[in-house]
Structure 1
Amino acid sequence: MAGRVDSDKVKEKASDNLNDLPTFHAENMQNNAKVMYYSRTFMSIIGGVVAGILGLTGLMGFVFYFLIMGITSVGLAAKAGFSIHSYFDSWNKILLDGFFGGLMSFVLFWTFAYDIVHIF
């Protein structure tokens, strides 16, 4: 049979549960997203130039892009000390956010560098 619950203990448990909730500062989250976006864009540009200089064409160039973005994701996670939930609200933020956004920059610099080195 269930006993009577003391109301003070329920209030203490409720306040403890509220303290356990993670809190995020909106400005810090925006700054983290901006840094991640700039890092991915920069790595897309550098990766495109390297792919163009190496002479990668077709599917191998896109495989190189996905490899560069994977390395960038691991680098960002390492920068966060692999404690992603302290800086972002989910793993998807660091793994997939901006993944395809840098693809246009990659293709632009990939074709530009390939044209300069291998065609002209």
Structure 2
Amino acid sequence: MIDPMADLAGGGPDMAMMGGPSNSEDNNKEVFDMDAFRYNFRKMDKIRSFMGIVAGCVAGVLGLTGLSGLVCFLILHISVNLSILAFKMNFNLKAYTQESMISFLLADFQKCAMSFMLFWTLFFGLVYLF
């Protein structure tokens, strides 16, 4: 997202007089609001963490074991990230972050996997062992 107040897109005649950059490479820089980025990142982190917990509960209650539980986690993790991308970002990833599509879909994968495994084993044990 280009900040209109920074005048990075225009580079008008005043920039040339003040000795500012005159080549087009410097004029195409993008400015991100880091406070908004951190806020959005925290919200997505909460959603993904909650998804890991819910997916673990679902897999445990359904009695999924082995690769079927892993596939359940992968499908739910990617579907939640696609939902964030579709409903909140309107598939315009570059307006909100500088990540690639693959890195966005697999973000927080390890942390969510740990939450998933914790609740998967807990609920599997509660439902099928007791």
Q: TM-score range by the shorter chain?
A: 0.7 to 0.9
Runs of 4+ in 1 over 4 A off after TM superposition: 15-19
**Distance between the aligned counterparts of 2:54 and 2:39, measured in 1?**
22
After the TM superposition, which residues 26-105 of structure 1 pair with which residues of structure 2 at under 5 Å, given as runs?
26-78=34-86, 79-91=88-100, 92-105=102-115
Contact 2:48 2:112 in 1 (8 A): yes
1:56-102 Cα offsets, whole Å, 9 max, x none, are 00111111111111101101111211111111111255222201111
Cα displacement (A) at 1:15: 7.6
Q: Which has the higher contact order (CA 8 A, sep 6+)?
A: 1
Taking structure 2 as the reference length, the TM-score comes to: 0.75
Percent identity, aligned pairs only, is 33
Q: Quote the Cα distance in structure 2 between the aligned partners of 1:76 and 1:99.
A: 15
Count of residues in Structure 1 that have an aligned counterpart in Structure 2: 112
Matched position secondary structure for 1:102:
helix
CA contact (8 A) 1:48 1:107 kept: yes
- Give the SS at the match of 1:88: coil
List runs of 5+ in structure 1 lacking aligned partners.
1-7
1:19 CA displacement: 5.1
Aligned residue number for residue 3 of structure 1: none
- CA RMSD of superposed structures (Å): 2.4
Answer 1 or 2: which has greater helix percent: 1
Matches of 1:76 and 1:93 in 2, distance apart? 14
Q: Which one-letter code corresponds to 1:109 in the other structure?
A: F
1:36 & 1:94 partners in 2: Cα distance? Answer: 10
Structure 2: runs of 5+ lacking an equivalent: 1-12
- How far apart in 2 are the matches of 1:101 and 1:108? 11
TM-score (norm 1): 0.81
